[in-house]
A and B are shown apart, each in its own frame.
Chain A
Amino acid sequence: ETGVTQSPTHLIKTRGQQVTLRCSSQSGHNTVSWYQQALGQGPQFIFQYYREEENGRGNFPPRFSGLQFPNYSSELNVNALELDDSALYLCASSLDYYNEQFFGPGTRLTVL
């Protein structure tokens, strides 16, 4: 059984650019949650997708947006990148929205 995978592993962007991060959920899981983890901090919830619909959002501005596809993989898009967006972006999948969340390895985003 394949776990949660994320791509790319690392990414370097400049301020003002846009970025798309991708996540493949664990087999059989229909829920994907995205988190931002700044260096030395705990992960912070961005939003959750359940069966292709947004199912909750954290305290992040609208320039953070997402999608979930029919195969339950997901994308996180960030527009107008700011220096403070530099972080590890984590994707977690769960069997259903009320089940345990299993995290992928993350994408390290650096904004210069």
Chain B
Amino acid sequence: QQQVKQSPQSLIVQKGGISIINCAYENTAFDYFPWYQQFPGKGPALLIAIRPDVSEKKEGRFTISFNKSAKQFSLHIMDSQPGDSATYFCAASRNTGKLIFGQGTTLQVKP
């Protein structure tokens, strides 16, 4: 019940395309769903986060879509750029405490 399942494991997108990464959770007590971006040799950086009282949140080129009934949420990166090439992690927690992370998605944006 504590797992967060993330897919795909890797993703290749052309510059200007849309990157979509999906996550599913089981624990209905989770109430905070962040996405982190991690470059090689660096710590994860908070990109965007959502709470279950809204179905979508947009910040610049990054959008989270949230489906409470399906217990799924996804990250959409619009107009993907080579600089977006990184590993992306979804996570879930209750009260933003202990974060449960997905396995990660390695994104490569081709010029």
Give the interface of A toward B (CB within 8 A): 4, 33, 35, 40-45, 48, 55-56, 58, 90, 92, 94, 97-106
Q: How far is the CB of B36 from chain A (nearest CB, A)?
A: 8
0/1 interface trace, chain B 88-111, chain A, CB 8 Å (1 if under): 010100011111111110000000
Report whether A42 and B89 are in contact in the complex, using a CB–CB cutoff of 8 Å: yes
Tell me the minimal C-beta distance from B35 to chain A in angstroms: 12
* A-binding segment of B40-48, B57-65, B66-74, B78-86: B40-48
Chain B contact residues, CB within 8 Å of chain A: 6, 34, 36, 41-46, 49, 89, 91, 95-104
A residues less than 8 Å from B104 (CB atoms): 40-42
- Is there an interface contact between A33 and B42, defined as CB atoms closer than 8 Å? no
Q: Can you list 8 residue pairs at the A/B interface with Cβ under 8 Å? A: A4-B43, A43-B101, A92-B43, A92-B99, A97-B96, A100-B34, A101-B96, A105-B42
* CB nearest to A103 among chain B residues: B43
- In the complex, chain A residues whose CB is within 8 Å of the CB of B96: 94, 97-101
Most buried by B among A40, A55, A101, A103: A101
The reply to whether B43 and A97 contact each other, CB–CB distance below 8 Å, is no
B residues in contact with A35, CB < 8 Å: 99
Extra 19 A-B pairs, beta carbons < 8 Å, given A33-B98, A97-B96, A102-B46 = A33-B99, A41-B104, A42-B6, A42-B89, A42-B102, A43-B89, A45-B98, A55-B97, A90-B44, A92-B99, A97-B97, A98-B95, A98-B96, A98-B97, A100-B34, A101-B46, A103-B44, A106-B42, A106-B43
